Each structure stands twice: as C-alpha cells, then as structure tokens.
Chains A and B, each alone.
Chain A
Amino acid sequence: MSEFMKNSFLLSRRGFVAASGAALGTLALPRVVRAQDPDVLRYALSAYPPGLDPFKHEGAAAVTVKLQVFRGLLGLDGDGKVVGELAEKWEESGTGYIFHIRENAKFQNGEPVTAADVIWSLKQISREGSTAYFVKDLKVISKVDAIDEKTVGITLSDPTPAFAKLLATAYVPILSEKAGMEKPVGAGPYKITSIEEGVSIDLEAFEDYYKDGYPKIRKIKMIAYKDESLRVAALESGDVDIIEYVPWQSMTKIEESPSLVLTETTGPNMIINFNVERPPFNDARVRQAVAYAVKREDIVAAAFYGRGKPLYGLPLDENSEAANDKTEQLWGYDPEKAKALLEEAGVVGQKVKLLSSSTYSMHQDTALIVQQYLNAVGLEVELDLPEWGARVEQGNKGQYQFAINGSSTVVNDPDGLTAMIGSGTPTYKRSFGYSNSKIDLLLSQGRRELDREKRIAIYDEVAELVQQDVPLCSLTRRTQGYGLRDNVQDFHALVGSSNLYTGFGLEEVTFG
C-alpha cells in the first residue's frame, strides 16, 4: 500500500495543495480593486427595485432611484421644507395654483420642460386604468391649463392645504411628452447608464440638470444589499459609502466606529389596529384598555434597541403642524385603569389573537411585548405571525382581532390620518370596519381648512375623539438610520413621512 501512496495518491494531494494555494493566492488581490474612486458615490439599497415605473409605488429602494432620474414641479430641501424643483416659483390662492417652470429646466433627452409636459404627465396619473400611487389623491385637480409655454395653472375642486406637499414627493414626476410612456424620460440630476439585473444600477450626472453645479458627484452606483447584516458589513469593509435602513441592533456599532457616521431621524410609527366588527374589540372600553395597558418605553427598548420614542398620541410626524400636547398625550401607561376597563367590559381572561408578521423583526418583537403587557392586565393573547403578503391579505379582509402595524402618512400632513381612522375602503392600514361620523366630519373639514390655527384646532378635536373611541392605539415612533463613511458630507436624512424622499438630497453629497 505504501507503493501506491507514493504513486497516484501523493500526486493528487500535491495537486490539491497547489489548487488550494492558487485559491488562497487570489485572496491577496482585492486591496487593489477596492481603492475608492472619488467620482463614484456607492449607495447600498435595502432591496433591488422591483420596477422603475415613474408613477407607481414600488417600495422605498425604488423611490430613491427614481428621485435621481425623475423630478416633479416641487421637491423637498434638507429640512423637509417644500421648495421649487422644476417650478422656479408658484402662487397659491385658495383652490388656484400657478406654477412657473424654470427657463433652464430640461429633460434628459435635451427637450425643454414645458407646460404641455406638465399637463400630459398629470393626465397619465389620473387617466382611466392608471396604476399610479396618487390616482386618487390627484382627483382633487379639476382643471389644468397652460397659461403660456412655461406657466401652468392648476385648479382644485376643493381647497387642499396638503396639495403642494403631494407634488413635492416622488410620485408626481414631470415626464417628457415626446418620449412618452414606453421609455419615460425625466428631468432629474442623474441618468441611468447601465443596469445589472438584481445587482446594481449605475447612474451618471445629467449635464443639463437645471441646478447649476449639481450633482456634486459625477456618478452613483446603487447596489442592492437585501440582507441587513451584509449591508452593514459592506459599509464597514468600505465596499459602499452610504447604506439605508441601518438595522437597529447595528446602530451603536456604527456610532462607535471611528470611520463611520450614523444619521438617525424619526421615521414611521408603530400602531395597533383593531377589527371593530368582532368582539371583544367592538367594545371601545376594551380598545381603551389596550391603550392604557402597554408601556411603550419597553417596546422602544426591546424591539428598537432604545432607538425611537414612545408614542401615546396621534400617529403624526414629530414635526407635524398638528403635533402638540393635545394630540400627543392621549393615553398613558396605567395598568390599573386597563384592568378596571377590562372588568367593566367583562372580558377578563378572554383569549384574543394578535396579528403581526414574522417577515419583519420589528413587527414581531413589538407584538411580543404587547402580548406580555396585555397578559399582565388579564387578557390571554396568542400571536399570529404569518409572512408579510399573507398578513396584508388578512388585514385587508378583516381576518384578525387586532394587529400590529407600521404607519406613516404619505406626506407630512395631518390629513394623512384619513387613511388610518377615516371611513373608507377596507385596507390593512385601517382598523377593520371602523367608522365614526364625527371623526369623518372633522377630517373632511381639516382636509379643506386653509387657516393654520383653525386647522390645528380641528385636529385637536379629532384627538379628543380618538382618546375616547381608540380607533387605533399608537405605540412608538421608530427611528430610521443611515450609515455613512466618515468622508461623506452634506447628506441629509429627512424626518418622519418625508424620510422616504431622502433621495432628493443625493445630488448635494460630496466627499470631504
């Protein structure tokens, strides 16, 4: 046998050693490859965009990409304030708006942006069979006309204080009519130069972008990292310059790292929805009991690693015009009161099922803590944790008793409450079957009230009704984090509902 060992066997072992040596050798290559190009900003997306339809909602990652390519009449600055984008300025008077398009605003095909393009683009959103995200919101437009080539007049059927905010999102881009919908062409700061399916999207500065001297960095490479830990690893190892959706458990690590910076703002809220068509949550006392039974601070501590704020009031943005003591302090942590309410309703010891989702740990962890607190006051809570798509379906069809939900308004405007507590088509975003005519009346007044003081007073009244009737129970304001390499400058994460539109500011980012 030793004879044999000398012959064939050692040879293959030698071959093996050589092969593994070669394999290890390639490990030495990368340092050269990883030298950073100051002309390219590498941005880690949390998902590969499922599509890039200019009007459809296709998730946060798609919004970030689309904002580089398409722009609308209005936009948001670094503080989340509405500013002119393709429109240089605009005038509002009740239901009438006049937008003056910038002289130098051009589409990426070289065509100037005209009033006709604006009219055509708005028509694409509201046309029959449109799948646009704002198809319903823009129904408020009753007339659009070209005053001259560079001026557009828009008339609304009702006064709508949130209208300018709607235009300052990613969902109302102005597209070139000439290019049409087959291959839509926008007027954003970057053009898509190449796409590696499922991997990355390469963008290059559009030279004729209306804002002189922008974008600051010539190229952006958007790379999808779906796994949150890998996204953090990519930032740490220098593969990317910015990552979005920093997982809460990694925030401290990024903060403590000398070469990284964490940018943190409050983002969407976590709430509980109720199915008010089924007992026991058809009884407002039971809903109230839930609102008093849960110590929100513990959800922030356990589900969000201390990142976020407890929320005992209306699920509005922290910097919302309607956020004040009257709308923020509706309930408190009061287990005795909760117990008393449950006893009064006669549901102590009753089994209830709490719907959440195993797809997102924040939804699941929040449910776990809510479960503990409700068990402590005398309910017997079971968890139902399907995958996200199934959870949405159950929510839409009312196949639940009560459910954990994430909530944010489309724009930072109190009218966003309509989608959560107003009557309307059942969706998983609303408490199933909930309808309160007093709240509905106030919401429709609030939607149309142009006077700021009067408007705030209306939402104060809404808050009072919510406190009593508990159409939903707020839990926390969670934070949204971006991780940056320390040489990335002038990156502004937007607050609350506007956080989704942080992509507006990428054109300002520079390397220090």
Chain B
Amino acid sequence: MLSYVIKRTLTAVMLAVAVASIVFLALYLVPGDPAEVLLSSGGVEPPAEAVRALRVDLGLDRPIFWQYLVFLADLMRGDLGQSFSNGNPVWDTIMVRLPRTLELIFCATIISLIVGIPCGLIAAIRQGEATDRVLSLLASVAMSLPIFVVGTAMVYVFAQKFHLVPAGGYVAFSEDPGKHLLLLLMPSIAIAIGFSATVFRMSRATVAMVLTKDWVRTARSKGISERQVMTWHIVRNALGPVVTVVGLQMGNLLGGSVLVEYVFNWPGLSGYLVTAIEHRDYPSVRGIVLVVATLFIFINLVVDMIYMILDPRVRH
C-alpha cells in the first residue's frame, strides 16, 4: 500500500509541474499585455514611459524562454513569485484566500451529505411511492437551477426583503465568529442545493441496487437487526460511488465556486483567479491554477484511500 501511495504522489507532482508549464505558456497566447492592462484599469490612457518601465519591472521584456526558466527555478524553491498588481507574494495571498474557499466547500459538502444521503435512502427504500417521486422531482429541480439564479434569489429574499442576513460579504472568524458563520451559511446553502441533489440521486441509485442483492436478503434471513443490515450491508456497500462523486464535485468547486463567490461577495480563491485573469496578473493565475490542480490531484488520492477503507478488495 505504501509503494502505491508513493507512486501516486510522484505522479501527482509530475502532473502539477506539467499543469504549471501548460498554464505558463497558455497565458502568453492570451491577448493583452499585463503592463498595459494594469496601468489602464478603468479606461485611462497609460503613459508609454510608465508601461515600458513596468514591463522592465515585471521582467516582461525578457525572452519568454528565460521567463519560463526563472519561473521553474522559483517553483523548485517553492516560490510562486510576486503578483504583478501589487507585488505581494502570490503564495501569501493564496494562503489567505484558499482557506475561505475550502471552508465554503466543506460547509456545502457537509450540508449536502446531511441532506442528500438520508433522502437518497428514503427514496430508495420507498421506491415508486409518493415520497420517492416527490424527492426525485425536487432533486431534478434543484439540479437544474443555475447557481447564480439561486444565489440572487436568496440575496433578494433573505437580505433585501426580510433583512435577515447581510447581502453577502465576509468577516474574519477571529473578528466576529457569529457573523462569519452567518455569512458562510448563505453561499454554502446555495452550493448545497445542487450538490445535495447530486448526492441524493447517486445514493438513491446505489442503495436501490444494493437492496436487490442476495447478501442483503441473506443477512435479513439470518435475523440480523434491520439497523445492522442497513449500516453494514447496504449503506457501506452503496457509499463507494457516492464518495467518488462527492470527491470529484469538491474538486470542481475549488475553481468552480466563482459564481457563488461573486454573487455573495465571498472573497475566495475563484474570485481571486478571475480578477487575476482580468488584470493579466500572470504569477497569480499560475499560482492559483497550480494550487488548485495540486489539491484536485490530492482529493483524488484521498478518494482512492477512502475507497480502500470502504472496499477491502481494493486493498489487495
């Protein structure tokens, strides 16, 4: 098992370097000169001297290959470089932004699991009955609702109409824990609406399948309590695919929570990525993509590990 983990980790590192190189080169194909874009924000005319000076400051006057070597050398030292916009180390900004996105993803995932798995179970057990039909219908609706519609509607109803919550934003946990959690709740729910529907459908399908298996009938006929059958024979066997889907979805959210972050003004990593692209802040874009890719690879690794725990066959 250890050699498997090491092998997977090495592949992951190589993958990350490949991603970094592709992103590095792809950015140069995007039109828009960083110095020009940075100095003309808001539609002003930047003086040509300033643009030239900034290009030199940012090292953009060097040949691309040289810039690439510098980038790789920095990367080997664990240095993601400095933001073109404000000169801050990219790593520092990512370390501020990433936990906020992770927090959002975890909160949304927990809500989705709490809602999705039990509902999936009920629906599978009561297959074809009214409960199942209502739940399945709700899930279809939830899945097809675009997140920005849900988000905007939530802001309208809860913030603008009833003044229950602030209209999005962020307060550090250390500053005001209550408000922090309150602000976290809205975007988490917005993500969880679609996410829990996915979890629901996956668990419904797998539980329904497992329910028909012989070993379940055997377990019941042996007189094991229904609760034990449920926990050890049904749920455990049904969870594998659910874990995979949840893992993939969490990975997607790392770079894909941008709409939610935008609608709720949640200052996470995705929003930072979009701003960085708008500003042609190459080091920031590279840094974020690299970190997201690494995390994605890591989540997949963890999913495989959980698989091993759930399914002894994979272990051997």
Residues of A within 8 A of B (CB): 1, 3-5, 7-9, 12-13, 15-16, 19, 23, 26-31, 33-34, 47-48, 50-53, 56-60, 129-137, 196-199, 223-227, 229-230, 233-234, 236-239, 268, 386-390, 392-394, 396, 405-408, 410, 419, 425, 427-429, 500
Contacts and interface: CB of A to CB of B under 8 A. Distances in A.
B166 A26 contact: no
7 contacts: A27-B182, A33-B182, A131-B50, A198-B97, A389-B31, A393-B32, A408-B43
Contacts of B225: 7
Contacts of A30: 164-166, 179, 182
A50 B86 contact: yes
Interface in B244-265: 262-265
A1, A31, A226, A389: which has the most chain B beta carbons within 10 Å? A389
Interface stretch (B53-61, B290-298, B308-316): B53-61
A395 to B, nearest CB: 10
B241 interface: no
A134 to B, nearest CB: 8
Q: How large is the interface on B (under 10, 10 to 19, 20 to 34, 35 or more residues)?
A: 35 or more
B226 A388 contact: no
Given A27-B182, A50-B41, A133-B46, 14 more contacts: A9-B125, A23-B111, A33-B182, A129-B56, A135-B53, A136-B49, A199-B169, A225-B265, A226-B262, A227-B262, A229-B152, A233-B167, A236-B160, A387-B278
Nearest to B229: A4
Interface string B16-34: 0000000000000011110
A29 B267 contact: no
Nearest to A427: B45
B149 to A, nearest CB: 12
Contacts of A1: 125, 226
A239 B97 contact: no
Nearest to B39: A57
Contact of A233 (B93, B160, B181): B160
B263 A227 contact: yes
Interface stretch (B72-80, B113-121, B134-142, B299-307): B113-121
A140 B279 CA distance: 31
A27 B169 contact: no
Contact of A9 (B160, B165, B230, B279): B230
B37 interface: yes
A154 B257 CA distance: 53
A12 B39 contact: no
A57 B42 CA distance: 9
Main secondary structure of the interface of B (DSSP, over half): helix
Interface string B272-286: 100100111100000
B278 A239 contact: no
Given A16-B115, A51-B87, A136-B49, A238 B57 contact: no
Contacts of B158: 27
Nearest to A386: B31
A304 B9 CA distance: 55
B93, B166, B182: which has the most chain A beta carbons within 10 Å? B166
A233 B57 CA distance: 40
Contact of B272 (A53, A198, A230): A198
A407 to B, nearest CB: 8
Contacts of B15: none
B71 interface: no
Contacts of B53: 129-131, 135
Contacts of A236: 160, 167
B163 interface: yes
Contact of A13 (B32, B118, B160, B179): B118
Contacts of B278: 387-389
A7 B50 contact: no
A234 B170 contact: no
Nearest to A419: B45
A223 B264 CA distance: 13
Contacts of A199: 169-170, 267
Contact of B271 (A198, A233, A405, A425): A198
Contact of B85 (A28, A51, A134): A51
B169 A239 contact: yes
Contacts of B56: 129
- 5 A-B pairs closest in CB distance: A389-B32, A4-B226, A51-B86, A198-B267, A59-B41
Contacts of B215: none
A7 to B, nearest CB: 4
A33 to B, nearest CB: 5
Contacts of A406: 43
Contacts of A47: 275
A27 B41 contact: no
Contact of A389 (B37, B159, B272): B37
A43 B155 CA distance: 19
Interface string B204-232: 00000000000000000000011101110
Given A33-B179, A50-B85, A3 B226 contact: yes
A23 B163 contact: no
B185 interface: yes
A5 B86 contact: no
A232 B195 CA distance: 29
A131 B115 CA distance: 54
Contact of A392 (B32, B48, B281): B32
B172 interface: yes
Contacts of A3: 226
A20 B55 CA distance: 54
Contact of B155 (A4, A230, A393): A230
Contacts of B279: 50, 389
